[in-house]
Chains A and B, each alone.
Chain A
């Protein structure tokens, strides 16, 4: 059985995570599309921490007989990996878009320089 203290700490930690993420969204420091995975992480951890029976049952399915809270850590780790992988794809996309912009600017600057009519003094 999961020690009660572990469950309480788990609930507090996941509620904190959800509150921090919501506050970041409210302050426009985090976009909703990048917050969803974090909120899902917080929600799943909250449920598994508060619903002690469920955690024990899942631990039983997975063959974790000695210490059920290990499942909590495993789930948390899995979600963190998902978030990181998601960020790697975002980073790759941003890199491509950045290079594309740099290329376009280089082409446009050359074009502007070529098309710009030399200023003739108006006298």
Chain B
């Protein structure tokens, strides 16, 4: 990996009570490329996640109270904007995103062919990832909806594994949904004129903790996201010019 090209890249890692996993997540990003600045956004964890991340060399942004995954991630985007980073990647704090795949995610950004790159589990149909039926249907339905409303085929709208250039950082720093954000954010990006690219990635099983989407919450999830998509397609978004290069 050419260090020169990654000189101004920040890795944003939202974390809520991930003390068991966060150290390794930070280590793996630093091992992939020591030039990437790792920023852990601690969403008011009560298990010492923030201190653990700091010990492993991450910059830590500590939220006063729990604001939800979207609000936490947005804190990272606002940091990236304020500190002038050219590129940002986002990985989950639970270790399900493999830092060694970051090269694939950053490649289209480096080539200047995309503003937003999403690590998708479904670009290749031969992917090994087989979620439970209910979730698979949900992912499919939202992918279809976003594809139709956004005017570009999207295969995985629930992935939180992504890379952004400066244009993408600016958009998400200003506008990012606060809970269950990924699906809506993808549509907002498309409607704002961002160039979206998808690359095939593998995701690991969770190392610890529980998925934030439990069975009881899935109904709320479906309704909330559907409403958000409907509203997002009725709203007007200023078209952003492509990144100057």
Main SS of the interface on chain A? helix
Partner of B71 from A102, A105, A109 at Cβ < 8 Å: A102
Chain B contacts with A in 54-100, Cβ cutoff 8 A: 59-65, 67, 71, 74-75, 78-79, 82
Give min CB distance, A57 to chain B, whole Å: 41
Interface size in chain B (residues, C-beta < 8 A): 16
**Cβ contacts under 8 Å, A106 to chain B:** 41, 61-64, 75
Question: Are B82 and A103 in contact, with the CB atoms below 8 A?
Answer: no
What are 24 A-B residue pairs whose CB atoms fall within 8 Å in the complex? A95-B178, A99-B71, A99-B178, A101-B64, A102-B63, A102-B64, A102-B65, A102-B67, A102-B75, A103-B67, A103-B74, A103-B78, A106-B41, A106-B61, A106-B62, A106-B63, A106-B64, A107-B61, A107-B78, A107-B82, A109-B61, A109-B62, A110-B62, A110-B79
B residues contacting A by CB (< 8 A) are 41, 59-65, 67, 71, 74-75, 78-79, 82, 178
A residues contacting B by CB (< 8 A) are 95, 99, 101-103, 105-107, 109-110
Known: A102-B63, A109-B61, A110-B79. 13 other contacts (CB 8 A): A99-B71, A101-B64, A102-B64, A102-B65, A102-B67, A103-B63, A103-B75, A103-B78, A106-B41, A106-B75, A107-B75, A107-B78, A110-B59
